[in-house]
Structure 1
Amino acid sequence: MVLRAIFVFIMTGDGVIKVIWVAVVLSVLSAQSYANEQKGKWEPGVSGTIAMLAGGAQSNSRLDSGPKNIDSLSGIGEDKMEAFFFPLAASHVDYTFANGNSRVQFGMQEADIALGRPHIELGYHQYVDNLGTFKFSYLPGILSATTWKDPYLVGEDRSETDRNIQGVRFQYSDILSSRFGLEMAYGDQKIDDELSGISFSPTAQQALDRNGDLYFIELSHLDPISKTWLVRSSVNYMRKDLSGKAMSSNKYTGQVAFLKRLAKGTFTVSATYHYEDFENVNPIFQDTRSDNGVGIMSTYVYKAPFNLKNVGLVALLGYHQDFSNIDFYDNYNVSVGTGVSYDF
């Protein structure tokens, strides 16, 4: 079974872009193709995916988005509706060597919880008989995301700056034919012009610095419970070891996703829960931050519309909410979108 995924990323209130919803396209779902995926063998030559995505999202986050000018750090953030368009969402080009077990890839790969944002990567994939598939990737940080220089500035227009993450990742799928998967990653997060808390004091600015290191590890399992149903469950841990100790944290996430094959498409629904415990007292709010978050994502994929081979149409709906003991970091996101992909 070949899994194709399209991710939408929306800036939220904890300093990291969150995955709001995921569209999983089951490109091939026959028993034979499922066996081929588990063997880790690919068709030699050039292949890949081109995908485009558009839609809208409503959020009340204040840390990375929302209105330029805020009049208070307390209470609930103002709702803001934004349109998005990703002309190359989840697009990548692969070259598989003649042995069918070695592959290089350049572009946007599917899973990226590790660094919490879309990225371009260069990776090498190797299948080893009876062991599984190994993937080694370098993330050069070509793409940047925007955030506020000082999110806590009140009564004046806030200015944007770029956030960039470089990193490396190791993935090991179908470990010893067990359907378990392991992923580990490291990333270096840099804010071009980090001024968080400068409007308060140098001490506050130091404690709220968002530059630093990200460490991630995930264990997952893919279970075919029938001919048409699949369940993927995962648990992961992310360590944010940032220069600002009030922004450093330990985050624990669990997710379960159900995938259903339909006559000419697929339906997916997934649910997530995370708990994030921060390290030190926030100097602005005089409290140590602690967050809980829940999310649900649903997608429908229609394959080969109008008998167009290798084309898929996607409809998506997602909801995510963070509950924090500090009001400023409370936020929610609602996302809807449509997309089209082409496999070659």
Structure 2
Amino acid sequence: MISSIAAGTIARRTIVTLLISAAGGAVAALLGLPAAWLMGGALAVAVAALAGVPVMLPNWLRDTAFVLTGLSMGASVARDSLALMVQWPVTLAALALEMVLIISLTGLLLRKLFGLDRGTAYLSSFPGHLSFVMSIAAAGLGDTRQIIIIQVIRILLLTICVPIGAMFLPIGHFEGSAGPPMESATLVSVAIACGVVGFIFTRLRIPAGYALGAMATSISAKFAGLFEGQIPPLFLVAVFIMIGALIGSRFSGITMAEFRKAAIGGLAGTALTVAIVTVIAFAVLPFVDMPFGQIWLGLSPGALEGMGALGIALGFDTAFIAAHHVGRLLLLTFAIPLVAMLVRQKELP
């Protein structure tokens, strides 16, 4: 009886969350905003969560969203991505420099201007790998609640601000793969393959395993000529609604008092991070033949699933964006424990 009630509660909360995301996306679409279903959904669910609405996505649906995002990114890969890869070492080097600047300067800002302790400041400054960051925080380094709020603010703001920036900034546009929508049978078979590889990646403890596994499978199949065509538009809308719900639901359980306490630091840290990414992207622009917006999304410190979905919605080369976010996760895998160790040594009497 208890389990059936719990299952019913989970189902109701999930449906409400998806409906809120869909409603927010619909409003944003009516307003003509770029990436409307993703941005509007994320903002609507975040507001609902902070207002006390019990929003949530169960783990199986979260993982499904990751798989479908990875599938969509692979299907949206541009045909000349392989030719453009010779330019990527320049942007990958820029990514490494950017990571050093973001972690050091954002951590310093949160310490000196907002009075956060070293652990909280530097764990809040890491641009990604949230599960790894929170596992270290849970081991006793920093204030876990402030860290999660600052990190979630970063993810939400990037999801909202990038489409708005697309309306006013010369971010450019990239024509991805063209063609008619994929046939249903092809879409289902590729999705199953993406899910299997994503599961294997997750069991191997690869960061963002479902998204990366699905993306690797879809990109490989696309380059191998195993399928053609675009992801059906309604399918993409459903993916954006789920990812928007996922991003917004990360505010679940955070009270307004906790949010206000960490919000200013989160906004300032995100602003500094965005400024660093923007300067680096402009510096790289003369050396590569691609739109500014594509470079920015590749270097951006947002969540892989969110930035990947934005890349699809804005028409950029998702292979480039995916490669750089994988690079960012790899760099963070080494940087997070190193910085945590240095912080602990500083805190020893």
How would you bin the TM-score normalised by the shorter chain?
Answer: under 0.3
Higher strand residue share: 1
Please say which structure displays the higher CA radius of gyration. 1
Question: Normalising by the residue count of structure 2, what TM-score does the alignment of the two structures yield?
Answer: 0.20
Question: Normalising by the residue count of structure 1, what TM-score does the alignment of the two structures yield?
Answer: 0.20
Higher relative contact order (Cα pairs below 8 Å, separated by 6+ residues): 2
Higher helix residue share: 2
